[in-house]
Structure 1
Amino acid sequence: MSEWERIGLSAAVTGTVASLVTTAVLAGLARAEGKGALQPTNATSHWLHGEEAGHHRGPDLEHTALGYATHHASALFWALPFEAWLASRPRRTGPELLRDAAVMAGIAAVVDYGLVPKRLTPGWEEVLPPRSIAVTFAALALGLAAGAMLTRELRDGRR
């Protein structure tokens, strides 16, 4: 297997873990704010459905499936440079891995809420206050680190 194939497979696992972790955190934060648990996921479909997407509380293909697919693709997107970064340097300890995941999540936050047009943001701002969005990016860091650790364990187990 080539280095890029290994990085791609690692990114698929890491991104999936990060996507699941952040989706669960978003649901919990939304409930804590008195919103529907699926509203942040639905809001992510705003790139197609506009700002009304965040007002949709229940599950459906139009908002929930598209919102989750978009979010999952975004998590995979951020996992790819993260895994390439990890592959470019010596093996890290758990705290170093978490530090690097926090840096990647910080970059994601700056890009998602500082650089891209509003239509391409995650859309969570339609449902959640800034502090909840910050918590979600912290959860992204934890998800990236956990995914990278899982990937490392899976890879080491095959040796």
Structure 2
Amino acid sequence: MALTQQFARVTNEYLDTCRTSALDSSGGSPGWDPPDGDLLDTGWALWGLIRYCRSTGADPQLTALLDRAVSGDPGGDVGFLDHDEVYDGFGDPPRLLAPTAVADIAAALDRVRLGDLLADLPASTEVAAAVCGFGAGFDGDVREHLTEHFVAVREFYRAAARHTQCVVTWVD
């Protein structure tokens, strides 16, 4: 099974409910079940975009922004989500981005000029996939793949910011 980058948009109230559930449950179950419309799976795409940015010497602030968007912030009171109901336990437990951080990330993602960033992406699928760390088995248009998932993440963060929601990130 491949690892993928996961996101959930949730309210502070929802997190409080999950926290209470975890405390009240003998197995620590947080009752984690955000609506499908508030979940996003970006596969490996954003990791590939981050790798591409690092390999091309893109603005370190952009790389840090993308890394923060997928990794969340340290701290945050979401230890109760370190449960197999939420993620499979491979890698770090879920991390939180509070509404203020979500709004900052959404605004910064809106300023990214993706076309300019990807202007030097190799035209060859094989070479572009290698630069992004996708490997020889990648099938499809790398630029299209990166763009599709970047746009999805940008829209996801926009909606979360608009509704003053938190974003929880994890690898599953």
TM-score, normalised with respect to structure 1:
0.29
Which has the larger share of helix?
1
Which has the larger share of strand?
2
